[in-house]
Amino acid sequence: MKLKEDGATKRFQTTIHYQNTEDHPSIATAIRKLIPKSSVAQIVVVCIGTDRSTGDSLGPLVGMHLQDHGLNNAAVYGTLDNPVHAVNLEETITTIHTVYDSPFIIAIDACLGKLSNVGNICVASGPVLPGAGVNKKLTPVGDMNITGIVNVSGYMEYSVLQNTRLGIVMKLSQVISQSLLLALTSHVIEPPIIRYGS
């Protein structure tokens, strides 16, 4: 696990290529390290993206995998049937904060990057910036985030996302969802501390 300094704050971040199968358990370990152990926080996974673009379908695919396997201790928003994207993102976040008192949001999103980084999965503390790869300014989402680099950035990003190979997106979605399932199903929740008297 790398500790990356971001200005005055310190952020945890770990990056692993999806083909490095021996490192896959490290993804679940990184997720567990960042999620709260208190039973007060409800874990909500927000899978951002759309099924109308191959590269941007990473989030909805992860959401679909999680939904198919069922999670008892986490809520999932964003699937192929009901994606969370630029149009309904604000509404979805508002709904989550209305439904849950203390949600801990794990944001999942696709991103573009350098050619050498395509296929990398990054687990980091703090929010993800949806739409940043295509120069959209959307509300930052998440107390932590998991991103998958699906293609190369720098030129005609919309077209690049549209023409991303489905194979790499599927493989990234499988590794991310399996890591989340492992992390969340083995996550130990500590009961809240109750103090009596002074």
pLDDT at 187: 60
Distances in Å between the alpha carbon of 167 and those of 10, 32, 53, 150, 191?
35, 27, 13, 10, 42
Sign of the alpha-carbon torsion through 62, 67, 69, 73? positive
The Cβ of residue 106 has, within 10 Å, a number of other Cβ atoms equal to 26
CATH number of 10-185: 3.40.50.1450
- Rounded Cα distance, 25 and 192, in Å: 28
* pLDDT (mean) for 5-12: 53
For the chain, the domains span 10-185
Q: Which residues does residue 148 pair with via DSSP β-bridges, in sequence order?
A: 110, 121
pLDDT at 102: 86
More confident residue, 153 or 154: 153
Q: Where residue 188 falls among pLDDT bands split at 50, 70, 90?
A: low
Nearest to 80 by CA among 106, 62, 103: 62
- Is it the case that residue 67 has pLDDT exceeding 60? yes
- Is it the case that residue 41 has pLDDT exceeding 80? no
pLDDT at 51: 92
150's tokens: 């699906």
> Tell me, what amino acid is at 78?
G
- Is it the case that residue 196 has pLDDT exceeding 80? no
Rounded to the nearest integer, the mean pLDDT of the chain is 85
> Tell me, what amino acid is at 29?
T
pLDDT at 157: 77
Q: Where residue 96 falls among pLDDT bands split at 50, 70, 90?
A: very high
Q: Where residue 85 falls among pLDDT bands split at 50, 70, 90?
A: very high
pLDDT digits (tens, 9 = 90+) for 109-122: 999 989 999 999 99
